[in-house]
Amino acid sequence: MREPAVEVRQLRKSYGAIRAVDGVSFTVQRGEVFGILGPNGAGKTTTIECIEGLRQPDGGEVLVLGVPKGALSAAIRQRLGIQLQMSGLYPRLTVREVLSLFSSFYERALPVERLLSMVGLEEVQRIQTSKLSGGQRQRLSLALALLNEPEVAFLDEPTTGLDPQARRALWEIVKGLKQEGRTVVITTHYMEEAQELCDRVAIMDHGRIIELDSPQELIRRHFAQTPVELSLPGGPGLSELAGLPAVSSASEENGRYTLYSQDVARTIAALFELAASQGVALEALAIRQPTLEDVFLKLTGRRIRE
């Protein structure tokens, strides 16, 4: 069997008193899209940068394609793709020039035309990178990460700052990489993105992994219940709603309630009865499928994007 794409064991990294990464372990198999998911400051970037060799960890072990990080040779680097934050990178070169320059670093690279069309930057190919919008810069950094057709691509929050259309386009690119059998390690704080793209996700909070599995399995494990959302102006409060039949937990945010129910029909029937008995109207009742966002909320009591 081939070695895993990435192995991380007991990774640790502090900045002064801040334990940014506090004993993180996981394995990414070949061909997997692996997500590192968590709110701002959870330690995602530090983790991925320690794997890429861009930061020096305080402790732990990292192997990429079976090779210890310290020994990552030029030959191994040819097989990796790393999306760097683009701010200030060769500001005077045009998009096309930057792509050509980076292509020259690799033994094998996709043609510049193909890269431009892949990330939708044909129209700005002769513009200096300093004049690009945030989203365009983001797409250029993606093209740079993928130009050598890497076996393992590391993408750090690749869709932050992209409009919905560009985000969907990026999702298609990642799905294409998976179809080609490549491995993708992606960090994100967009739950729907992780759910759409990732075979497995590690949910990070305060430098630790608090859950790791496929999105479907995480949802199934934590939610035998279905979220029922509603508003009930002037009606009963959270504690009364939490006591309704089949409700196992409940939360409130800006006057909107979420009841986690094991039997939606029973809960809703009781809810209508309660509202009628108190002479108040139920508003915007919605039953939805639980998401990774619900998993995070349940695990931490917070939303991933506050």
Binding positions for ligand ATP, rule: CB under 6 A:
15, 18, 20, 38, 40-46, 189
Choice between 45 and 261, CB closer to ligand ATP: 45
Query: Closest approach of Cβ 144 to ligand ATP, in Å?
Result: 19
By CB neighbour count within 10 A (0-12 exposed, 13-18 middle, 19+ buried), where does 83 fall?
buried
Query: Closest approach of Cβ 301 to ligand ATP, in Å?
Result: 18
Query: Closest approach of Cβ 135 to ligand ATP, in Å?
Result: 17
CA separation for the pair 79, 25 (Å, rounded): 23
User: Furthest-apart CA pair in the chain: how many Å?
Assistant: 74
- Give 167's DSSP letter: H
Q: In what order do the strands lie in the sheet with 283-287?
A: 247-253, 256-261, 226-231, 283-287
Task: Report the amino acid identity of residue 59.
Answer: G
Choice between 149 and 293, CB closer to ligand ATP: 293
Task: Report the amino acid identity of residue 81.
Answer: G
Query: Closest approach of Cβ 188 to ligand ATP, in Å?
Result: 9
Residues in the chain: 306
CA separation for the pair 286, 261 (Å, rounded): 12
CA separation for the pair 233, 94 (Å, rounded): 56
Question: Which three-class secondary structure state does DSSP give residue 141?
Answer: helix
Query: Closest approach of Cβ 128 to ligand ATP, in Å?
Result: 27
Choice between 40 and 248, CB closer to ligand ATP: 40
Choice between 161 and 245, CB closer to ligand ATP: 161
Query: Closest approach of Cβ 82 to ligand ATP, in Å?
Result: 15
Choice between 42 and 98, CB closer to ligand ATP: 42
8 Å CB contact between 57 and 117:
no
Query: Closest approach of Cβ 47 to ligand ATP, in Å?
Result: 7
18-28 and 208-213 beta bridge pairing? unpaired
Choice between 38 and 150, CB closer to ligand ATP: 38
Choice between 40 and 165, CB closer to ligand ATP: 40
Question: Which three-class secondary structure state does DSSP give residue 135?
Answer: helix
* Cβ neighbours of residue 9 closer than 8 Å, sequence gap 6 or more: 25, 60, 61, 62
8 Å CB contact between 81 and 5:
no
Choice between 43 and 290, CB closer to ligand ATP: 43
Query: Closest approach of Cβ 244 to ligand ATP, in Å?
Result: 37
